[in-house]
Amino acid sequence: MNGVEATKLISEQTSTKPIILTTFDDDEYILDAIKNGAKGYLLKNIDPEQIRDAMKSVFKGNSIIQDVDF
């Protein structure tokens, strides 16, 4: 199972708000993640402080997508 598939199961079966932390910046993968319930999408090269801030923001009900080339 990949991260997008896991995100779908987590979103469907819990109240968890998944944030994907990945090396993939492929447009299709990002869109699939969002369609399957990801509330955040971050690349692993992000600063730890930005991860913390994203977690806080998603907890408050926002969605976060790191700047990626679409």
Burial of 38 (0-12, 13-18, 19+ CB in 10 A): buried
Q: pTM of the entire structure?
A: 0.82
Q: What is the pLDDT of residue 68?
A: 58
Q: What is the pLDDT of residue 70?
A: 45
CATH topology of domain 3-65: Rossmann fold (3.40.50)
User: pLDDT tens-digit profile of 14-64?
Assistant: 999 999 999 888 889 889 999 999 999 999 999 999 999 999 999 999 999
Helix axes 3-13, 27-35, angle to 10 degrees: 10
What is d(CA 8, CA 35) in angstroms, rounded to the nearest whole number? Answer: 8
Q: Tell me if 34 sits within 8 A of 16, measured CB to CB.
A: no
User: pLDDT tens-digit profile of 8-22?
Assistant: 999 999 999 999 999
Q: What is the pLDDT of residue 5?
A: 94
Instruction: Judge whether residue 69 has pLDDT over 60.
Output: no
